[in-house]
Structure 1
């Protein structure tokens, strides 16, 4: 047997939903404000995973312009029934926490829940069906009598009420493609609080409800309850959490929770779940929330537990399946085709043609200067996930800014309040190299001019080693030079934040271009290379 190295989906890949179809396993994860929406990975041995597709690619399916940081697509749920794949997801349009004299006040949030379907994971998914907006984390349960039910957490904005107001269920009518009947609250949650991420399963006449509780930080946990009746009452698992890191802030896998269950062909249960890994000796997870998986066991009492019975995440379980690696060549960093390479994504907009082109200058990625790097609407920022605690990334850019309002370069980005950005711009008659940092610790965006640049293409690089980040630059064919002092890489994490803001994503590294004059001055990138170092 071969060992599974957890996390199986490193870097920003949270909120896994797993399904098996024959010998094939598929996991869908959240993408939040990154476009296209939802990542679906595919495996045949639980060890080797490849990106099979991002289904939400059209404006009719997803338009996140204006969505706040860490909003957009939350917690997709992927199932297979009636000969089709079913994907439900939330597009969060407003986070909306307010405080009055230090106390939490009314928290109005906008959650739009949708359903799309397709016969194949990598096919063209349907236009969305609007389901409801009562809360987030929607999931479908296909009962053995042919009926389908939508479950989601209920949001209660009223002061004095618990915002996480329980789990509701409502029937989905296949004939009309709409929800029918009234929603029923089937589970209030436990004292851990923050009850969310519901999934329903049926086994031996029992309805098993799996939820996440404790918040998405160190006390995150997967909790189960069961009932003989779909609508309850549900009794809570006698052991408490089924899987949790128990508040630990160190170790191989922390922040474990938000899970889903799949059964192998022999009936063995496995759990895919969210986890985090602090960088170095810090308590910050720069890779964001990742996906892990491990075997579980149904006990003689009918309850699900970890194999060891300790509810602890396993960093290296054994796969019971024969190895099935994918025979696929990785991206070499070039821009030789008409389509954006699979590792790369952009922010919010369903209209990439306004942001980028791979055909206007063949062999280059052209970014058109758009909004500022803090914009929630139209950013020309194309990047990939940081998947290693240590890495080096490089790019080569050709860019002739007309004035100080235009900039282009290499960026390490978490969100609009947390980034390090090395870029070319103009100061008077000189083309200059600048560095901009947005830090949640200072609450400010700081910019320094590092010096004038020679004419011609410029290569930019970044090296990250744990909590340390360093930028470099060189003229085409010249020697690498340090671009300023070392910087703090750990601010690019969930845990470093301004008060009251959601932080649910992870660090990206890539290319960006702005032109605040509105002229759309383009920057041409010849390549982008990323090499992990552990």
Structure 2
């Protein structure tokens, strides 16, 4: 029997929207401030998934320069109708405070590879939009409504900022929303109702939503109505999925997903989840450095016309039964990237639609162009890939000749501008070219750097330097070498802080940790650093020291 291993999309891949076209399955996930926007994965069997496209790849579709951390692309919705793909997405411009400034758009494409159209603006009343294609040909745009009036007496008691689910018709001929706006669902008493997806079965419209926030109280709530505008009755259990009552489960923070049917009529439901480092450690606050990942659960329709998990529980299993037998693929492979003419698809950068200003491919190296600081929200030379495993090694080879301490380049583990560890090659006025470490451990709001090295390490003329790191659950150790043996550099650092729960804690940020390469030049002279290779190694064999 072939089994699905959850999570199916490891590392930071939240808010999964799934659709099927024939025998092909596609999942779109949020990318937040990382560019290009939206990750789209493909599978033939719900077991093996591959990243095939990031469709929002030009300034006219997406420009996130100035977007705060954890803003940008929230909760895309991918669908297929009328012979084309439809992608709905939000670009959120503000996180903290009473306002969100969330703008919703629609793009289309004849195939998943594109070309993807110029965006159609929809609305800005709230985030997590989706598009429902009814069987009579009409299309309905659904999103949560954001309420900035926290003092409102009419607001939801559990969380006044979330003011129900809106529904309005979208007319593709005129390219805009038309008709009356209906608030179709107020949510359950759990509140924080978002991520609406509509589907139809027999005589009912079913509305699946996420509730309880994206942390440990998260849940999938289901409701139904015979009219698209309601009223909607709640599922007998209120929630279809949640891990709230199962703190021992390795899968936590379960919520936010969408239903898909197989060609043979079986039903599955995607979900967002997190895998905590230590289930019972108060010190670590159950941190999830891999961020919010994507899983999928087998479901069943019962005689009462409601959907339930097939395992008879509320929390999904680590292993789910696949719809049919398929040949599995090798997992946890070491990946070695030789930077040639194109940036490998696993890598992204931050915010800017003008990547040629922050990096180029030389043919045998990834050349980063030093721009603004590691904490910038505008033009940051940082290229990285997701951390997908709780234990892994990463290495790179760098060639860089800094002339001043304002010039830095190196290897880093990066969650956001106030949660990162950066092994950097720089220049010290007294010792010359050297290695240093810059860390920021979530000390909001100051975001002050710390310098874990007691003394920077001078480099005596070596042109190329290899940099490495090992993350073992909640600890990070940097390494370096210019010859055969790796040498540890600096103390073991806190890797648990590189998580949603690190720093200010749950709901203050909600992306995931990346590992990659960065450069900055605070002088404005745009010093360049060449990275010849990069290795991501979940088998933990890449770094061997002379002590081993």
Q: What TM-score do the two structures reach when normalised by structure 2?
A: 0.92
Using the TM superposition, give the Cα deviation of residue 81 of structure 1 relative to its aligned residue in structure 2, in angstroms: 0.4
Asked whether 1:481 is paired with 2:487, we answer yes
- The 8 Å contact of residues 251 and 277 in structure 1, kept in 2 or not, is answered as no
Using the TM superposition, give the Cα deviation of residue 532 of structure 1 relative to its aligned residue in structure 2, in angstroms: 0.7
* Counterpart secondary structure, 2:41: strand
- The 8 Å contact of residues 441 and 496 in structure 1, kept in 2 or not, is answered as no
Asked whether 1:369 is paired with 2:370, we answer yes
Aligned to 2:257: 259
CA shift digits 1:178-229 (9 cap, x unpaired)? 1001211000111101000000011111010000001111110000111111
Aligned match of 1:134 in 118, 122, 125?
125
- The 8 Å contact of residues 450 and 484 in structure 1, kept in 2 or not, is answered as no
Using the TM superposition, give the Cα deviation of residue 55 of structure 1 relative to its aligned residue in structure 2, in angstroms: 0.5
Using the TM superposition, give the Cα deviation of residue 331 of structure 1 relative to its aligned residue in structure 2, in angstroms: 5.5
Aligned to 2:99: 108
Distance (whole Å) between structure 1 residues aligned to residue 387 and residue 245 of structure 2: 25
Aligned to 1:101: none
* Counterpart secondary structure, 2:141: strand
Using the TM superposition, give the Cα deviation of residue 339 of structure 1 relative to its aligned residue in structure 2, in angstroms: 1.3
Deviates more, 1:275-284 or 1:185-194: 275-284
Aligned to 2:450: 446
Using the TM superposition, give the Cα deviation of residue 327 of structure 1 relative to its aligned residue in structure 2, in angstroms: 11
Aligned match of 1:354 in 357, 378, 384?
357
Using the TM superposition, give the Cα deviation of residue 502 of structure 1 relative to its aligned residue in structure 2, in angstroms: 3.1
Aligned match of 2:240 in 228, 239, 242?
242
* Counterpart secondary structure, 2:338: coil
- The 8 Å contact of residues 249 and 278 in structure 1, kept in 2 or not, is answered as no
CA 406–249 in structure 1, closer or farther in 2 if over 3 Å, else same: farther
CA shift digits 1:269-304 (9 cap, x unpaired)? 100110000014540001000000011011101011
- Report how many aligned residue pairs link the two structures: 521
Using the TM superposition, give the Cα deviation of residue 259 of structure 1 relative to its aligned residue in structure 2, in angstroms: 1.0
- The 8 Å contact of residues 258 and 273 in structure 1, kept in 2 or not, is answered as yes
* Counterpart secondary structure, 1:91: strand
* Counterpart secondary structure, 2:356: helix
Asked whether 1:298 is paired with 2:301, we answer yes
Distance (whole Å) between structure 1 residues aligned to residue 240 and residue 131 of structure 2: 21
* Counterpart secondary structure, 1:518: coil
Distance (whole Å) between structure 2 residues aligned to residue 500 and residue 294 of structure 1: 25
* Counterpart secondary structure, 1:112: strand
Distance (whole Å) between structure 2 residues aligned to residue 177 and residue 454 of structure 1: 63
Aligned to 1:103: none
Aligned to 1:431: 433
Q: How does 1:47-446 map to 2 (within 5 A)?
A: 47-97=47-97, 107-161=98-152, 162-246=160-244, 248-281=246-279, 282=284, 283-323=286-326, 332-336=336-340, 338-359=341-362, 362-428=363-429, 430-440=432-442, 444-446=448-450
Using the TM superposition, give the Cα deviation of residue 268 of structure 1 relative to its aligned residue in structure 2, in angstroms: 1.2
- The 8 Å contact of residues 162 and 193 in structure 2, kept in 1 or not, is answered as yes
Distance (whole Å) between structure 2 residues aligned to residue 2 and residue 252 of structure 1: 21
Pairwise CA RMSD of aligned residues? 1.7
Deviates more, 1:466-475 or 1:434-443: 434-443
Using the TM superposition, give the Cα deviation of residue 109 of structure 1 relative to its aligned residue in structure 2, in angstroms: 1.5
- The 8 Å contact of residues 404 and 426 in structure 2, kept in 1 or not, is answered as yes
CA 500–219 in structure 1, closer or farther in 2 if over 3 Å, else same: closer
Distance (whole Å) between structure 2 residues aligned to residue 331 and residue 529 of structure 1: 6
Aligned to 1:9: 9
- The 8 Å contact of residues 216 and 244 in structure 2, kept in 1 or not, is answered as yes
CA shift digits 1:400-436 (9 cap, x unpaired)? 1111110000010000010000001111151111101
Distance (whole Å) between structure 1 residues aligned to residue 38 and residue 375 of structure 2: 23
- The 8 Å contact of residues 334 and 535 in structure 2, kept in 1 or not, is answered as no
Using the TM superposition, give the Cα deviation of residue 526 of structure 1 relative to its aligned residue in structure 2, in angstroms: 0.5
CA 116–324 in structure 1, closer or farther in 2 if over 3 Å, else same: farther
CA 210–501 in structure 1, closer or farther in 2 if over 3 Å, else same: closer
Using the TM superposition, give the Cα deviation of residue 497 of structure 1 relative to its aligned residue in structure 2, in angstroms: 2.2
Using the TM superposition, give the Cα deviation of residue 247 of structure 1 relative to its aligned residue in structure 2, in angstroms: 5.3
* Counterpart secondary structure, 1:483: strand
* Counterpart secondary structure, 1:445: coil
Distance (whole Å) between structure 1 residues aligned to residue 147 and residue 178 of structure 2: 22
Instruction: Specify every segment of 5 or more residues in structure 1 that has no aligned partner in the other structure, as ranges.
Output: 98-106
* Counterpart secondary structure, 1:65: coil
* Counterpart secondary structure, 1:490: coil
CA shift digits 1:123-145 (9 cap, x unpaired)? 22101111000000000000000
Using the TM superposition, give the Cα deviation of residue 321 of structure 1 relative to its aligned residue in structure 2, in angstroms: 2.0
CA shift digits 1:135-182 (9 cap, x unpaired)? 000000000000000000000101323110000000000210110012
* Counterpart secondary structure, 2:337: coil
Aligned to 2:467: 460
Distance (whole Å) between structure 1 residues aligned to residue 290 and residue 49 of structure 2: 18
- The 8 Å contact of residues 433 and 452 in structure 1, kept in 2 or not, is answered as yes
Which segments of structure 1 move beyond 6 Å, counting only runs of 4 or more? 326-330
Distance (whole Å) between structure 2 residues aligned to residue 49 and residue 378 of structure 1: 32
Deviates more, 1:436-445 or 1:522-531: 436-445
Aligned to 2:513: 507
* Counterpart secondary structure, 1:353: helix
Deviates more, 1:207-216 or 1:436-445: 436-445
Distance (whole Å) between structure 2 residues aligned to residue 385 and residue 414 of structure 1: 10
